[in-house]
A and B are shown apart, each in its own frame.
Chain A
């Protein structure tokens, strides 16, 4: 892959040791009801070998963020309106994916960046054996011949822990369980040893024991390959299992970001606190006490409230909150929060 000449905001500005550096990303969709601002000024970084979990409710913009990085936003309705997505490939060259051409993107997708989708039941093509689907990505990006690609596919199936892999190679997706299919998806995503793996709710459609196995597998594979992971989820339990750092999204913005320990131990944003309080915990639910819920819903992408978008649902909101948009303030070196009142919170 040829490195494009780096732009003004390019390589020299991207700190070393980072795989992905997203800055001020805006993604919008033109709909019949107006322009939906799905992502509004999101910035985050993923270091080499690091797992960043992006957490949020439905409609918070977390999936659109991940699709933006892959440039899978369906044109012409959707587009990346502003921002840069700096990505460092395995050869060290930095590309701005937000401005990259389709040809460059095709070379990156599946090769430098692998992606796992939420629906293992429908993310595999029903008419091809799974072995061929793994082999396809190897043939596309590695230029392997049929035979070598098949050997590579077998190796990948073994790597993701599918028993009797040689036999499974010729099975069709409908002959496999959801957990097996998700392992196949992971095998496809990792076949070319990508520098970045994007996992968009990879365990949501699976039952809990399989979830744990898949998370285990991803952790192992990351330790083995040093792949960075961008993990999209709404499940805080999963976050605690796999993430190094967490970014909490609300209504198209990141409202709090920090390493996983800090965020779970000392959340600063009222929304993060609400999310954690609404999560059942072993040993902490006394005598049938009700779980807390955050009142109201995530505001839609049209006509979001002025100022802090969480203010209408926030127990600590004051008039100033709706007056101006809060900025991301630094709490510690590894912890930032977008709330003007974080110092006052109990």
Chain B
């Protein structure tokens, strides 16, 4: 929530200091962000998932300090070694360290997920805002999103990838477009509610122009539904990217994304099940914790919206 003041500012100093205090913190620790975090983490599972997610991100960033091995360096003498003291997650068919590759995969998957979220959120919010606010565009935009949503995610993504050709950038583009309708629909629905609320009329009554009302008054109120959708899209994008790579239409196979690693592990599944196991676990943990956090966010944000609006 970019527009909100930072949480956790010291609440003590706000007591009775009179006069023009330099931007006193929201009193009694009741800033919206602090409220949200407290409500979010009241559920133990959400806290666990959030910690797990933070750990995954931290591991991805700190990869070079966790394992000394180069994820791309082959050592043919060490091929297909079972997990052990030297290689915690074992080695693959070329003797590369699986842990190093899973961590590199984490970087790539999180990057893809984040970029897809950015693309889908920006496109979807723009379409939803325009559709919800400009009646004439609404029909056109919503039929367009209906058409996109009529196809299963993975099928549509495969079609886009077939047209665009395999590359990391194209995966981001394809998945971004695939998940745009989800954001667009949620944003549009929220805009249709918001535009009828008295504070929008009040903003008109104090002389704000339509673009200003949409961007300054309506958009910040959409943050809650957008954040919830973004979390889910993050999870879907990681899953679908893995599926695309597994099917060979995603990121080029030389790049060790989790999907590519599992695809490559197929033929060794009898001798070296760890090749499939560890990237698989990584996908499950990441996607699951994202989903739990998304669920928690939805529960934490909804009652507040109802209370305020």
**Interface, chain A (partner B; CB < 8 A):** 70, 72, 106-111, 114-115, 117-119, 122-129, 136-137, 140-141, 151, 154, 164, 166-167, 170-175, 185, 188-189
Contacts and interface: CB of A to CB of B under 8 A. Distances in A.
B204 interface: yes
Contacts of B5: 170
20 contacts: A107-B207, A108-B207, A110-B205, A110-B206, A110-B207, A110-B208, A115-B202, A117-B202, A117-B205, A122-B309, A123-B199, A126-B199, A127-B32, A136-B206, A170-B27, A172-B26, A173-B308, A188-B202, A188-B206, A189-B206
A126 B19 contact: no
Interface string B207-224: 111000000110011010
A167 B27 contact: yes
Contacts of A70: 205
B308 A126 contact: yes
A106 B4 CA distance: 28
Nearest to B18: A166
B267 interface: no
Contacts of A127: 3-4, 32, 220-221, 223
A117 B201 contact: yes
A140 B199 contact: no
Nearest to A110: B206
A299 to B, nearest CB: 27
Given A151-B20, A170-B23, 9 more contacts: A114-B206, A115-B202, A124-B199, A125-B203, A126-B199, A141-B207, A166-B19, A170-B26, A174-B308
Nearest to A151: B20
B266 interface: no
B270 interface: no
B307 A174 contact: yes
Most buried by A among B14, B202, B220: B202
Nearest to A127: B220
Contacts of A115: 202, 205-206
B30 A175 contact: yes
Given A117-B201, A167-B24, A171-B27, A125 B221 contact: yes
Given A107-B207, A167-B24, A172 B32 contact: yes
Given A127-B3, A166-B19, A167-B24, A122 B199 contact: yes
Contacts of A154: 20
Contacts, number: 98
Nearest to A106: B207
Contact of B197 (A122, A172, A173): A122
A125 B20 CA distance: 24
Interface in B221-239: 221, 223
A117 B207 CA distance: 15
A35 B204 CA distance: 25
Most chain A Cβ neighbours within 10 Å, of B4, B202, B205, B217? B205
Nearest to A198: B205
B303 interface: no
Nearest to A125: B199
- Taking each of B25, B26, B207, which has the highest tally of chain A beta carbons within 10 Å of its own beta carbon? B207
A123 B3 CA distance: 20
B198 A125 contact: no
A167 B4 contact: no
B21 interface: yes
Contacts of A128: 3, 220
Nearest to B23: A170
A189 B205 CA distance: 9
Contacts of A136: 206, 208, 216
Nearest to A122: B198
Contact of B309 (A111, A126, A166): A126
Given A127-B220, A170-B24, A172-B32, A72 B209 contact: no
A111 B207 CA distance: 7
Given A110-B206, A140-B206, A167-B27, A119 B20 contact: no
A161 B259 CA distance: 64
B220 A72 contact: no
Contacts of A175: 27, 30
Nearest to B305: A126
Smallest CB-CB A-B distances: 3 pairs: A110-B206, A110-B207, A109-B207
Contacts of B3: 127-128
Contact of A123 (B17, B21, B198, B223): B198
A194 to B, nearest CB: 10
Contacts of B208: 106, 110, 136, 140
Contacts of B309: 122, 126
B215 to A, nearest CB: 13
A167 B11 CA distance: 12
B198 A72 contact: no
A124 B199 CA distance: 5
A166 B21 contact: yes
A216 B27 CA distance: 29
A119 B197 CA distance: 10
Nearest to A74: B201
Interface string B1-21: 001110000000010111111
Nearest to A103: B209
Given A123-B198, A125-B199, A166 B24 contact: yes
